[in-house]
Amino acid sequence: MLILKGVQRKIGVFQGNSYDNYILHCLDTTPFSSDSSRLVCGSVCESIKVRSSEIRNIFGGLIGSDSDFDSLLGYSVCVSYDRYGRPVQVSFSETLEDAQRKGV
């Protein structure tokens, strides 16, 4: 399971091409076995890159401005990718811990 821990916006020019992307920094809480991972200690983080021009489509209108991400910190993240490995849909849900804290 991925948990949203931070969002970074990167804007610039690389080799003459402009870019404007959001990088979602997520904590991967999936348990690792010693057979499948070389993780020595700590946690594994995953970065998900989303083009700002596609932000409304990918997040289903959930994100209208940068400040909207703040309310989603700590939520579980589910990402669907196309055949080229680009995200086509990102959805969020409360983690079990968050729901228990709210008494749901």
Evaluate the CA torsion angle 98, 26, 76, 43 in order and state its sign.
Answer: negative
C-alpha 41/C-alpha 6 separation (Å) is: 21
> How many domains are contained in the chain?
1
Structural domain range at position 74: 2-102
Condensed to tens digits (0 to 9), the pLDDT of residues 52-98 reads 988 888 887 778 788 888 988 999 999 999 999 999 998 888 865 65
Q: What's the pTM? A: 0.79
